[in-house]
Chains A and B, each alone.
Chain A
Amino acid sequence: MTEQGTVEQGTVEQGTVEQGTVSAAPSPASRRLPLRVPAGLLVAGVAVVAVLLAPLAFLLLEASGVGAGAVAHLVWQPLTASLLWNTLRLVVVVTVLCAAIGTLVAWCVERTDLPGRRAWAVLVVVPFAIPDFVVSFGWASLSTWVQGFRGAVLVMTLAVYPLVYLPVAAALRSADPALEEASRSLGVGRVRTFLRITLGQVRGAVLGGCVLVVLALLAEYGAFEILGYHTFTTEIFTAFQVSFDVQTASALSLVLVVLSVVALAADAAVRGKGRTTRTGPLAQRVATRRRLGRATVPVLLAFAALVGLALGVPVGSSVYWVFEGGVHAIAGVSLLDAGWHTALYSGSAALLDTVGAVPVALLSLRHPNGATRLLERSSYVVLAIPGVVVAFALVYFSEHYANGFAYQSTPLLVLAYAIGSFPLALVAVRASLAHASVSFEEIGRSLGRRRLAVLARVTLPLVAPGIAAAVALVFLATVTELTATLILIPTGVQTLATQFWAYQKNLSYGQAAPFALVIIGIAAVPSYLISRYFNRLPSRSASRQQ
């Protein structure tokens, strides 16, 4: 007894020391033995993240092949400076406008007695579903005034402000109204309470939304091409697709990725500083709504104007061109064929992403340690790689490692879609997995069921809403994808987006318009579901409390 006792004690002490160095914060989730992370799960998670980071690796390989001096030479030229100026002034102006519009609209919908709030809540999100290049087409095909910088500001603001609206509205819904009440009770006035408390509570959401806006602007190709506005993305595309200047394309891609990484890093730095969390349980009480009073009519007019400009003009313009072009111009067969390919590619990418997101989310939430958290964070780096760069890197891969075999094949296109949209799937799956308590899984196992059976019968049914949201989000994002599609689509095949693009390039607006309408129609459905899903989250957790 004593002999074994001392031996055991020795191993214990070793174990404790080891753990003390690995994770300083003691938590019930910390594990002494690394073998408790199932090997299959770990392998799956690492494989997923490796695939996600491959494009970046290829880009760096390509750049290192060219050599540092040559890259510097390619980067330091007048073209880069003018592109940088174009990009930065657009980013600053559009981001500020989106932050203002998104926050004000969210506050009106969530915190005032605005008539028709439920309808507005859906209507202001729908523009998110309309691809930027369709909004751009809608405006540019009507007026030559919408061109260049001013056109880009107008079109992009209307197209991407929902990226700020959605997170801010969600934050306002879950923000604790007790803080505002406490502030008012301490003698601080309404306006100052709004500035100091309400804005403080949603600051993280506003900043997060702004970063998404910046990333969207950096990655956009189609809208700027139509408006004749030159950014890094349009120049990369031209250099690669038109003049086959691979070196310029890769040098510009590097600059673009660096800009995106800066945006992401700034977000992380700001986010780390001040977190607004609530101490009590979620949504135990709804904030009292501010009465708009005499401001009701002006606010309603402003909402109508916003929806008219963001939703009415693109849709109306497309409808106008359908009738202008004559019904005979609609090629029903090509529409069906393009629709089928769009559904095939987007559906495959949505499934691939959702399946890939499950192990990464499980690792980071159910087996949290330094390694699994790093794994999860690395997957978000994808956000900083615009579609044109992903496509470009995959082409490089196919040429150098697959002998051009997979170039312009279905799997490569689906892979490009899946890589670009992975963070959307991960966010959705992770959020619902975080809601599903671990104790359900533990009980499932205590009743004699193995890990995989518990995953299938307990965990996945519990996170079903998150899985559905993940599929819908990725589907939506990829239906409207144009840039990578143009580069990677198999020869002789058209998707809705590429067929639209081909027609509008020939100025055949009448033939392009039906494709625009179908894309809007397809994308609007999941976006409606998404806004409903976002709306349901707080009320669901509230009903569970009772």
Chain B
Amino acid sequence: MTSSTDRGALSVRGLKKAFGSQAVLTGVDLEVPEGTITAVLGRSGSGKTTLLRVLAGFERPDAGSVSIGGRVVDDARHHEAVERRRIGYVPQEGSLFPHLDVRRNVGFGLSRRARGGRVDELLAMVGLESLGKRYPHQLSGGQQQRVALARALAPGPRLVLLDEPFASLDASLRAQVRGEVLAVLRRSGTTAVFVTHDQDEALSAADLVAVLRAGVIAQLDAPFQLYNHPVDADVASFVGEANLLGGVARGPVVETGLGPLTLVRPARPDAWLTVLVRPEQLDLRVDDSSSRAAHGVGARVLSCDYHGHDTTVRVRAETAGLPGTLVARIAGNRSLRESDPVRLRVNGAVEAWPAAPTAAADG
């Protein structure tokens, strides 16, 4: 067993947890390097909150091991109590102690002597020096969340765990508070793990993203790698919008309904593949005399979702062997209408995986 010698900030091996007959975690492996921010991304019910609660020590795992800062805190033999783990925990609602003011909330985990200076230091770090005497109900949602972070950081934890920390905030406030919280975490150099169901949040905020699916980590990667090179079609659709095409490998390219596309890595010749084309890879032009010859296959616009900065366009290709609907993204300053004729072409190399025979036949 190597877990005791591991030097990472957090190391999880074969973690299992069931409630009654319902298995929630079925074998989680996770390595989090020192000083990074990792997002655990999963659909609701995927077990991400359970994972976080096991790491914190609120729940005892049924099997597997957890070590924090190179020390085993959970395995078959022993379970270290929450209060001895030196972790910081920030729950969804912040959960500031309602009967204590901001200063005493932040100082809760500190000894009486250490309290004074350290509390000032932390309040300055989260930019709330002037609010020390306020009570939680006198703070805005974003301020509460920053105080909760300061409170978690106060005792100098080896690892900070955040449970959907921004989900309860208004959409307008979320990005700002997220930015502030992450800046504080990076400045303090603390290793952090947060869970979220929001792909955008995971991709934009974290150094590493762990996709939790059916109780196991399906993929652990940097955001760029995860989005562009997901391990399978399901992860691909979960972390962003995806067009999945059937195709046959021909050396460095794959033959698809959108023509031959360059593979990011060569596949076994003549293998059936499932090919990932991200919406922004799909180059979409108005069908006119100049584009017809050079530009891919014809299609018709089904619908447009206008977002301001860009527009999501759903089209139906006229070629056989393609999914009924393809999704493309065009700049917000271009305008298309329903049933407009367009032409499609794919930019850049594509990710692909060996297809199950039936899926390939569907095409």
Contact = CB atoms under 8 A, between A and B. Distances in A.
Interface string A8-26: 1101100110011001111
A32 interface: yes
A16 B62 contact: yes
Interface stretch (A271-279, A325-333, A436-444, A506-514): A436-444
Interface in B72-120: 76, 81-89, 91, 93, 95, 97-99, 108-109
A484 to B, nearest CB: 37
B82 A442 contact: yes
A9 B63 contact: yes
Contacts of B87: 446
Given A5-B14, A9-B63, A15-B62, A447 B151 contact: yes
B103 to A, nearest CB: 15
B138 to A, nearest CB: 12
B60 A33 contact: yes
Interface residues of B, number: 42
A1 B65 CA distance: 12
B20 A26 contact: yes
B1 interface: yes
Contacts of B155: 447-448
B56 interface: yes
A24 B21 CA distance: 8
A446 B82 contact: yes
Contact of B89 (A16, A442, A449, A462): A442
Nearest to B111: A448
A28 B58 CA distance: 10
Contacts, number: 109
Contacts of A1: 1
A272 B23 CA distance: 31
B137 interface: yes
A450 interface: yes
A442 B92 CA distance: 13
Contact of B60 (A25, A32, A442, A462): A32
A437 B99 CA distance: 13
A32 B89 contact: no
Between A30, A33, A36, A446, the greatest number of chain B beta carbons within 10 A of the residue's beta carbon is seen for A446
Nearest to B91: A439
Interface in B295-312: none
Interface string B45-61: 00000100100111110
A27 interface: yes
Contacts of A53: none
Contact of B21 (A4, A26, A28): A26
A24 B95 contact: no
B141 to A, nearest CB: 11
Contacts of B154: 447
A436 to B, nearest CB: 9
A442 B151 contact: no
A9 to B, nearest CB: 7
A443 B62 contact: no
A320 B257 CA distance: 103
A543 interface: yes
Contacts of A25: 20
A130 B59 CA distance: 50
A495 B339 CA distance: 93
Interface in B166-188: none
A446 B89 contact: yes
A461 interface: yes
Nearest to A20: B21
Interface string A437-478: 101101111111110000001100110100000000000000
Interface in B6-58: 14, 16, 18-23, 50, 53, 56-58
A321 to B, nearest CB: 48
Contact of B83 (A26, A27, A446, A462): A446
B63 A11 contact: yes
Given A9-B63, A11-B63, A447-B109, A26 B91 contact: no
Contacts of B57: 446
Interface residues of A, number: 42
A32 B56 contact: no
Contact of B62 (A12, A449, A458): A12
A448 B87 CA distance: 8
A73 interface: no
A449 B109 contact: yes
A294 interface: no
Contacts of A447: 83, 88, 108-109, 151-152, 154-155
A461 B62 contact: no
Given A1-B1, A450-B83, A462-B98, A36 B60 contact: yes
B64 interface: yes
Contact of A19 (B20, B86, B99, B152): B20
B359 to A, nearest CB: 32
A446 B14 contact: no
B20 A30 contact: yes
A462 B62 contact: no
A543 B64 CA distance: 44
B99 A446 contact: no
Contacts of B63: 8-9, 11-12
A446 B95 contact: no
Given A439-B95, A447-B151, A24 B20 contact: yes
A16 B62 CA distance: 9
A446 to B, nearest CB: 4
B21 to A, nearest CB: 5
Contacts of A462: 97-99
Nearest to A439: B95
A440 B20 contact: no
Nearest to B151: A447
Between A7, A32, A544, the greatest number of chain B beta carbons within 10 A of the residue's beta carbon is seen for A32
Contacts of A446: 56-57, 82-83, 85, 87-89, 152
B99 A461 contact: yes
B76 A8 contact: yes
A23 B21 CA distance: 9
Contacts of B152: 446-447
B165 to A, nearest CB: 13
A321 B53 CA distance: 67
Interface in A407-451: 437, 439-440, 442-450
Contacts of A12: 16, 18, 62-63
A337 to B, nearest CB: 40
A447 to B, nearest CB: 3
Interface in A500-546: 543-544
Contacts of B62: 11-12, 15-16, 32
Closest 9 CB pairs of A and B: A447-B109, A26-B20, A26-B19, A446-B89, A445-B82, A8-B63, A26-B22, A12-B62, A12-B63
6 contacts: A11-B62, A28-B59, A442-B58, A443-B95, A462-B99, A543-B137
Given A12-B63, A27-B19, A447-B108, 11 more contacts: A4-B1, A8-B76, A19-B18, A19-B21, A20-B21, A26-B19, A28-B19, A442-B91, A446-B85, A447-B154, A544-B137
